């Protein structure tokens, strides 16, 4: 029970974090859409941009994981299928998180 309550709170917390960051990122995407590769890379050289993007993508992926888990719990009846789907969701989430972190650090340090 405690676990579900903390998940519920985390979903709301990540949602609140994502509200301003989504507006920021959509605004940046409008600018980035006309940029070439080197200009996009220099966008991430800025410490503020890189850390905001990091927070955005981490809370987005975690929020997505919590949401998808809830959907699976609500609609998937078969116990085995539920476990398999949840396993796929968490694998995709954590792989994306790790690879994004490595890529961002690589971009910043280069």
Partner 1 sequence: MNFCKKNILIRYKVSVLLFKMSLNRPLSPHLSIHKKVLTAVFSIFHRFTGICLSLGGILLSVWIILIALGPSFYSKFQTLSSLIFFKIFLFLWTLTIFYHLYNGIRYLFWSYGKMMDLSTVYKSGYVVIILSILSTMLVWISI
Nearest-5° Cα angle at 45, 16 to 51? 20
The nearer residue to partner 1, 1 or 36, going by C-beta atoms, is 36
Among 1, 5, 47, 106, indicate the residue that binds partner 1 (CB under 8 A): 106
Residue 102 touches partner 1, criterion: CB under 8 A: yes
Residue 103 touches partner 1, criterion: CB under 8 A: yes
Three-class DSSP labels, the chain: CHHHHHHHHHHHHHHHHHHHHHHHHHHHHHHHCCCCHHHHHHHHHCHHHHHHHHHHHHHHHHHHHHHHHHHHHHHCCCHHHHHHHHHHHHHHHHHHHHHHHHHHHHHHHC
In angstroms, how far is CA 48 from the centroid of its own chain? 17
- Nearest approach, Cβ of 73 to partner 1 (angstroms)? 8
- Nearest approach, Cβ of 2 to partner 1 (angstroms)? 18
Residue 40 touches partner 1, criterion: CB under 8 A: yes
Among 10, 17, 57, 86, indicate the residue that binds partner 1 (CB under 8 A): 57
Residue 64 touches partner 1, criterion: CB under 8 A: yes
The nearer residue to partner 1, 4 or 12, going by C-beta atoms, is 12
């Amino acid at each position: 029970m405690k676990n579900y309550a903390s998940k519920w709170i985390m979903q709301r917390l990540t949602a609140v974090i994502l509200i301003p960051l989504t507006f920021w990122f959509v605004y940046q995407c409008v600018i980035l859409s006309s940029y070439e590769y080197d200009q996009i890379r220099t966008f991430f050289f800025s410490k503020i941009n890189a850390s905001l993007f990091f927070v955005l993508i981490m809370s987005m992926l975690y929020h997505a994981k919590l949401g998808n888990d809830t959907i699976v719990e609500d609609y998937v009846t078969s116990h085995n299928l539920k476990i398999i789907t949840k396993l796929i969701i968490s694998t995709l989430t954590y792989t994306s998180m790790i690879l994004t972190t490595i890529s961002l650090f690589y971009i910043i340090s280069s």
